[in-house]
Structure 1
Amino acid sequence: MSNTVVLDVDGTLVDTNYHHTVAWLRAFRSHDITVPGWRLHRSMGMGGDKLVAAVAGDTVERAHGDDLRAAWERYFDEMLDEIQPIEGAHRLIRAATDLGLAVVLASSGKRKHVEHYLKLLDPGDIAWTSSDDVDASKPEPDLIQVALRQAGASRAVVVGDSVWDCEAAGRAGLPSVAVLTGGFGEDELVDRGASAVYPDLDRLRAELKDLPFAAVGALGS
């Protein structure tokens, strides 16, 4: 089986991290809960099932978690038409497939949002996952494992923009590389497991053949 590139979507292929930050900020404020915007941004790439507790504590999660996620979705949906692909996203996917690499998208986003992004990216016939496919999102490895099974991958590398992508890759037993498109710094991405960090998608595209593909281990059922 060919080498597989597991691509994160939000912040990596589509420019959504700051839209998500604003939507979460508005969601918390709608419930009279103050969470600093910087703390929310630092949690981008983490699934909504974990974000509330991570930024506001377990008590807020128990009392308001589902309502906050519903409010985030409503505020984010209002901005959906503003979302644009990150420069070079379509070129990256096309170059990978032209090289004979398998490509699969592993997103912590909701299925309806990923479907919208696919229309923007026009990636061709490739496999993809969303948070609807798993019980636990990043930094848990579940999304990556589902993506690998869908692709029938035997060797793979994970590409993302956040520390949570790198951590999820590590938990899945795979190497990761990162891009700076999500607002996380190079040093922190390396500290969380990225073997290389690229300033943009075109620079990554130029080095696709040199990515650190590794054998996929036992993934469980």
Structure 2
Amino acid sequence: MADSAIAVLDIDGTLIDSNYHHALAWYRALRFVGETYPVWQLHRLIGMGGDQILTALDGEDLERRVGDRARERQGEEVDALLAEMAPLPGARDLLVAIKHRGHPLVLASSAQERHVEVFLDKLDARDLVDGWTTSADVESSKPAPDLLQVALKKLGASARASSVMVGDSVWDIKAAKKVGMPAIVVRSGGFGDDELRDAGAVAIYDTPGDLADALDDTALA
């Protein structure tokens, strides 16, 4: 493990085309509890964990008033959309390419456990990866670094281990910076290249497949 950088990959939005589904699910969940916010505002926060989104959206009062009910409903709305979520182009190819090069590979997700199980099946990834996380593993999710630290611990590694994050949002990059990981990103998060670079992305690709093709030009060569 010491000889190869550990690859820590986000699932939602990075490997699975799910960001816009999550934005819609949050919109519907908030409407259900009597709150309405523009979908574009919600989309800008996707990539944060569900424990962070409502406070970031409109402060601690919104979180206190509707947080638990909105999260529960959002999970149910995602349940209804799971069949429409599919792997992004080349997602499994990227996992195979990383493992072929001998890198330990862990998937770091703050999604609910039942959703992660579905995503693993969609990617046919259970036998490819060395571990994965869910929202049950941490108290604070991205942009807090906890999820990435737990992902490393799943492999018996520390935050000082050589590692690379692959994500799709500025929240992934911010979390990676807090543990000293370089962050490679794909554009499926819907953020502009300038935003991703300003946040600290070391490289940007259109799809997981494009990253797989260019892997020898990255820290995961």
Taking structure 1 as the reference length, what is the TM-score of the superposition? Answer: 0.93
SS state of the match for residue 5, structure 1?
strand
Residue matched to 2:144: 140
How far does residue 14 in structure 1 lie from its aligned partner after superposition?
0.2
> Which digits, 9 at most, give the CA deviation of each residue in 1:106-158, with x for residues without a partner?
01111111111000001224210111101100000001001111123431100
Shift in Å, 1:160? 0.2
3-state SS, counterpart of residue 16 of structure 2: coil
Matches of 1:90 and 1:212, distance apart in 2:
19
CA distance in 2, matches of 1:211, 1:136: 29
Name the % identity.
48
**Cα deviation digits, residues 192-217 of structure 1 (max 9, x gap):** 1111111121221123233236xxxx
The alignment partner of 1:177 has SS state of: strand
Aligned to 1:206: 213
Paired amino acid for 1:165: D
Letter in 2 for 1:44: I
Aligned residues: 213
* TM-score of the aligned structures, taking structure 2 as reference length: 0.93
Please tell me whether residue 151 in structure 1 is matched to residue 158 in structure 2: no
Could you tell me which residue of structure 1 aligns to residue 178 of structure 2? 171
Aligned partner of 1:65 in structure 2 is 67
Over the aligned positions, Cα root-mean-square deviation in angstroms equals 1.2
Residue matched to 2:77: 75
Structure 2 letter corresponding to 1:142: D
Please say if residues 35 and 56 of structure 1, whose CA atoms lie closer than 8 Å, have aligned partners that are also in contact: no
Instruction: Tell me the distance in 2 between the aligned counterparts of 1:151 and 1:189.
Output: 28
What secondary structure sits across from 1:194 in the alignment? Answer: coil
Query: Is the CA contact (8 Å cut-off) linking 1:157 and 1:211 kept in structure 2?
Result: no
Structure 2 counterparts to residues 48-197 of structure 1, below 5 A: 48-123=50-125, 124-126=127-129, 127-153=131-157, 154-197=161-204
| Superposed displacement of residue 84, structure 1 | 0.6
Q: Which runs of 5+ in 1 are unaligned?
A: 214-221
Deviations 1:159-206 (A, max 9, x none): 000000000000111111111012111110111111111112122112
Corresponding residue number in structure 2 for 1:216: none
1: CA distance, partners of 2:210 / 2:92:
13
Quote the Cα distance in structure 2 between the aligned partners of 1:131 and 1:211: 29
The worse-fitting range, judged by mean Cα deviation, of 102-111 and 200-209 is: 200-209
Q: Structure 2: any 5+ residue segments left out of the alignment?
A: none
